[in-house]
């Protein structure tokens, strides 16, 4: 079962080009924070998933509204996903920065239309 966490406030960081190349980063989840859905994510929660994904050589897509708003049509790819002491830190790149859609997505990040990050996740048996 896929569960959706409420978006967390995020500080967007851009590359030295001001994000012109579409690079963004922030936190997809913050540890020890009860979200709007009543979920609490603890340090280590992503360890197994990240290990499996790395072993398979896969990456995570960047979706808008968990893929519900624009369909499961990724707008980019997370190039680095890792736990740190604060939470699940993500860094990625929006796709198509030479297209109107790519430029529009970056503009939505910059002007606050995309005001935060959120993750979709499944809870392993025995971890509820």
Q: For 67-96, what is each residue's pLDDT tens digit? A: 666 667 888 999 899 999 999 999 999 999
> Model-level pTM?
0.76
Cα separation, 40 vs 31, in Å, equals 7
Q: Of 124, 119, 114, 120, which is closest to residue 12 (Cα–Cα)?
A: 114
Confidence at residue 97, expressed as pLDDT on a 0 to 100 scale: 94
Q: What percent of the chain has pLDDT over 90?
A: 25
Inter-CA distances, 108 with 12, 53, 70, Å: 12, 29, 14
* Mean local confidence (pLDDT), 99-126: 82
């Amino acid at each position: 079962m896929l569960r959706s966490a409420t978006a967390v406030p995020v500080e967007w960081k851009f590359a030295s080009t001001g994000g012109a190349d579409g690079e963004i980063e922030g936190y997809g989840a913050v540890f020890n924070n009860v979200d709007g859905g009543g979920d609490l994510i603890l340090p280590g929660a992503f360890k197994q998933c990240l290990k499996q994904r790395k072993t398979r050589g896969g990456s995570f897509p960047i979706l808008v509204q968990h893929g519900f708003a624009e369909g499961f049509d990724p707008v980019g790819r997370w190039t680095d996903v890792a736990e740190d002491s604060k939470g699940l830190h993500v860094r990625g790149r929006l796709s198509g920065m030479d297209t109107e859609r790519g430029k529009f997505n970056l503009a939505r990040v910059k002007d606050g239309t995309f005001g935060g990050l959120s993750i979709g996740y499944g809870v392993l048996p025995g971890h509820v």
